[in-house]
Amino acid sequence: MWDSDYLEGAVAGVFVLDINDDQLDEIVAYTDQGRVYYFDSQDYTLLWSNSPNEYERITSLTIGDIDDDPQPELVFCADGRLVVYDGRDQYEQWRSDQTDLTAHQILIGDVDGDDEDEIVLNDGYVFDARFFDLEWQYSEPFGERMGLLDLDEDQIPEVIGEFQGRYLRIFDIDLRREKSLGR
């Protein structure tokens, strides 16, 4: 059995993948207090962590290759901004101008049919994943939790949002509206 050292905040998420392009999986963890850690998956040693005061709070994080380079990026909301962080070289590639982002879930996928991925925040924002332009801001959140599925067979996934644990709403991002009952 292995226990990590104290991670300076509650662990908010854990991923297992090759984050640094070394052909080996690493354990990536982040905390609500703004820390990101990479651990070796074989001997559990700490490979890297961001500096203690780089971010005060991370509300959500996902990992994906959004720029077609060999390694994935960390995409997260920190201190009210959307941040894209190079996974291999550990540096901030971009941060949003928006300072009020508080998403608790982030999805990456082509949700508007332009053959380019978007970054979808559950608090109602959609950013282009390549150039980081704000493509759409809905007047309400997309739900507490989200999923992507092509429900109307147009080859473009819709955002399915869960609200208050009691109901679902469906959003057509390519049409910039909530989905109606008709297809």
What tokens appear for 6 in the block?
Answer: 């104290």
Neighbouring residues of 40: CB distance < 8 A, sequence distance ≥ 6: 24, 26, 27, 47
Indicate the class that CATH gives domain 11-102: mainly beta
Check pLDDT > 80 for residue 183: no
Q: Is residue 181 over pLDDT 80? A: no
Whether residue 64 has pLDDT greater than 80: yes
Q: How many Å apart are CA 163 and CA 142, to the nearest integer?
A: 8
Place of tokens 């720029």: 67
Predicted local confidence at residue 24, as pLDDT: 96
C-beta separation of 85 from 129 below 8 A: no
pLDDT category of residue 30 using cuts at 50, 70 and 90: very high
Model confidence at 48: pLDDT above 80: yes
Mean pLDDT in the chain?
95
pLDDT value of position 68: 84
Confidence of residue 6 (pLDDT cuts 50, 70, 90): confident
Those residues with Cβ within 8 angstroms of residue 6's Cβ, 6 or more apart along the chain or in another chain: none
Q: For residue 145, is pLDDT > 60?
A: yes
Q: Is the pLDDT of residue 50 over 80?
A: yes
Query: DSSP E strands: which ranges in the chain?
Result: 11-17, 26-31, 36-40, 46-49, 58-64, 73-78, 81-86, 92-95, 106-109, 118-121, 125-128, 134-137, 145-149, 158-163, 167-172, 177-178
Percent of the chain scoring above 90 in pLDDT: 88
Percent over 70 (pLDDT), the chain: 98
pLDDT at 180 over 80: no
Closest CA to 18 of 68, 65, 54: 65
How buried is 32 (Cβ within 10 angstroms: 0-12 exposed, 13-18 middle, 19+ buried)? middle
pLDDT at 42 over 60: yes
